[in-house]
């Protein structure tokens, strides 16, 4: 147990699917897993462990932002012995080539945040996802004929900004989309010598100003979730 996770050590699988929203974690567990057990409800950050096609998997919410996912991923890696975390979330498109519901794999995460430097002295503002996990996700997408875009995404500390600079981020760092968690997850995985990947579905576009509803964000990103789960079978 930790101050934030009440599960027993043996109740968390070695591979964790991590959406931001705990209700999305509940939906994934109920829809896709068998023999499901709810293993955490502290702070309503729900976690469930069950089996997907015979593979033991835990699904747990991360909350919003780098500090939140940093806490949960650190405790999962270090206390519970988790080896792999795949974030499944939403992102805003920074390029017209991405449409609503497109799936993006974050090969790299750029952030102007000092999260990594404060956490472990890391000075780089571009961190990589796990090559091993990314290769399995890409291979699975090809096998399942799922369209997947890979690239660099922007991970921000701030959602509502006075000056939106997504065009500059796209030009200078090749950021194709923006969200708020991947940099913190990648930093924590690097610190702990573990594996992390990030899959996001485009929920809104900063180019066209299109956006999905909160209900759609909770329930309608099944293809991304299925890609993550199928990829876990290769671990």
Distance CA 224, CA 199 (A): 7
Domain spans, the chain: 9-232
pLDDT tens, 97-132? 999 999 999 999 999 999 999 999 999 999 999 999
Distance CA 19, CA 28 (A): 9
Distance CA 88, CA 223 (A): 11
pLDDT tens, 146-162? 999 999 999 999 988 77
Q: Which residues lie closer than 8 Å to 31 by C-beta, 6 or more apart?
A: 222
pLDDT tens, 189-235? 999 999 999 999 999 999 999 988 877 765 568 999 999 999 999 99
Report pTM.
Answer: 0.96
Distance CA 164, CA 124 (A): 23
Domain range 9-232, CATH architecture:
3-Layer(aba) Sandwich (3.40)
């Amino acid at each position: 147990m930790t101050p934030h996770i009440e599960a027993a050590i043996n109740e968390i699988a070695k591979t964790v699917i991590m959406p931001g929203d705990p209700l999305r974690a509940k939906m994934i567990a109920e829809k896709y897993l068998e023999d499901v057990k709810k293993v955490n409800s502290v702070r309503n950050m729900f976690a469930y462990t069950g089996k997907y096609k015979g593979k033991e998997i835990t699904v747990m919410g991360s909350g919003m932002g780098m500090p939140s996912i940093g806490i949960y991923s650190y405790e999962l890696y270090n206390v519970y012995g988790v080896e792999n975390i795949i974030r499944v979330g939403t992102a805003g498109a920074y390029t017209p080539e991405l449409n609503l519901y497109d799936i993006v794999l974050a090969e790299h995460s750029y952030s102007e945040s000092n999260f990594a430097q404060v956490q472990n002295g890391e000075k780089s503002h571009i961190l990589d996802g796990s090559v091993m996990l990314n290769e399995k996700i890409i291979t699975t997408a090809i096998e399942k004929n799922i369209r997947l875009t890979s690239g660099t995404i922007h991970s921000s500390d701030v959602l509502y900004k006075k000056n939106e600079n997504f065009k500059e981020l796209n030009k200078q760092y090749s950021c194709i989309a923006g969200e708020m968690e991947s940099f913190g997850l990648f930093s924590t995985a690097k610190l702990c010598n573990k594996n992390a990947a990030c899959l996001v579905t485009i929920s809104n576009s900063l180019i066209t100003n299109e956006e999905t509803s909160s209900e759609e964000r909770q329930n309608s990103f099944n293809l991304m979730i299925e890609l993550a789960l199928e990829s876990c079978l290769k671990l």
